[in-house]
Amino acid sequence: MKKFAYLLLAIFYSMASFSQNGAISDKMMEKIRQGYSATSARKAARNALSKNSIAVLAVNAENAAMMDTHFTYEVPTKGRTDQQSSGRCWLFTGLNVLRAEMISKYNLGEFQFSQNFCSFYDLLEKSNLFLQAIIDTRDKDYDDRTVDWLLQNPIGDGGTFCGVANIVMKYGIVPASVFPETYQSENTSQMRNILSQKLRQYSLELREIKSGKLAERKLEMLSEIYGILVACLGEPPADFEWTMYDSGGKMVSRKRYTPKSFYNEYIGRDLENSYILVMNDPVRDYGKVYEIEYDRHTYEGNNWKYVNLPTDRIKEMAVASIKDSTALYFSCDVNKFIDRTKGSLDLANMDYESLFDTEFPMDKRQRVLTHASGSSHAMTLIAVDLDDSGSPRKWMVENSWGASSGYKGNLIMTDEWFDEYMFRLVVDRKYVPEDIIRMMDQTPISLPAWDPMFLPEE
């Protein structure tokens, strides 16, 4: 009996020494150290890591060859854009989709729409969206989840395609030559900080003043924001003259426009109703429509609304669009397995497992569920390479990191990478099958603004 009692005491003290309160005890630390084996391979990795970046050392030398650059179908484009040090990939991507259409339709040379013009009104509209949201929630406590989220995220220059649709349809568009970039438009962090500080300051006042003065005071606040934006970005033109030249440099026309008349003449489509937004989110049910609260760029605009689909259905539409020379808005988790020198997105680019002698077995659903992956960057999908059976082998996107980045300003991705790290695609309705069109008639399932899958693309 005494032996049994001693055994129980020994077990008790052994357990207590390991996890008395969830902390690492001395006994646990001893076992942790014993669990590490200092092999020669681990020592070599440690020596290398002390002087080099993980990204460099994890490169898989067996996959060093340049990826094949042949594509079965490719949307013709000219020139590459550069968002510089800004979070405007969503805007560059949306405008690049329209740019490819305009270049093709009018046989232009290199041409860009003014990202700065749209940025100006985007930041003004986001300011109004924030201020009005503060007014709408002024009866809630500061620790309310929505109020807290608003104050954490007063403004940013990231976004989604619905922002392109909202801003362009409301304010129009101009050529880049009419309203060029500034230092602040290309280096936005300090401007964002100033705007955030002002908006948070305004929020305190709007939550306290009398209801009858809210509209007038908000207007005064927006006038101050407008002044800051003019100082940083310039004042957008109300009208302008533009000369069109064809790809051979011959003048085609010269005419005065307003931003809206320019858009109506050269693009003219209803961006808010011409496209279907699709997503591959393996955490949620496929075939359902979801809507994200406050995920819009104007107060009266459309929240991000998407139908969740398996990747094979999304690929069908992407192939159909590219075959018809129509580029698509595409977003993904771009920094996973990227080789910036080659310009490739390939699961075989990096070998983290060998470098650290461990495994990373999570699938896409598990990565999303644990915040290990999500959409972070938007680009323009312009090419697909098909095998003999018509299935995709690889894809190419036009990026907005300049012509010298990646492969001629593009990134080439394997189809396997597409499956794992593609999240969003915006498709012209004419390439969307009828059964998916009908899915959009559902009443959307509402998701909160802080859902991790819907951080703005930057």
Q: Structural domain boundaries of the chain?
A: 73-295+302-454
Indicate which residue of 303, 349, 399, 410 is catalytic. 399
Low-confidence ranges of the chain (pLDDT < 70): 1-20, 453-455
User: Which phi and psi angles does 172 have, rounded to 5°?
Assistant: 85, -155
* 162 assigned to active site: no
d(CA 12, CA 6): 10
**For 294, left (φ over 0), alpha (ψ -120 to 50), or beta?**
left
Amino acid at 222: L
* pLDDT at residue 457, rounded to an integer: 74
Helix intervals (H) in 20-144: 26-35, 40-49, 54-57, 89-106, 115-136
CA atoms within 13 A on the CB side of 233: 28
Q: Which of 280, 302, 377, 410 is catalytic?
A: 377
Burial (CB count within 10 angstroms: exposed 0-12, middle 13-18, buried 19+), residue 143: exposed
- 89 catalytic residue (yes or no): yes
Q: What is the pLDDT of residue 453?
A: 66
pLDDT for position 18: 52
Give the H/E segment covering residue 305. strand 305-308
* Annotated active-site residue in 89, 162, 232, 332: 89
Q: Taking the CA atoms of 259, 261, 263 and 266 in sequence, report the sign of the dihedral they define.
A: negative
Q: What is the pLDDT of residue 11?
A: 47
Q: Are the CB atoms for 425 and 330 separated by under 8 Å? A: yes
What's the confidence (pLDDT) of residue 75?
96
Architecture of domain 73-295+302-454: Alpha-Beta Complex (3.90)
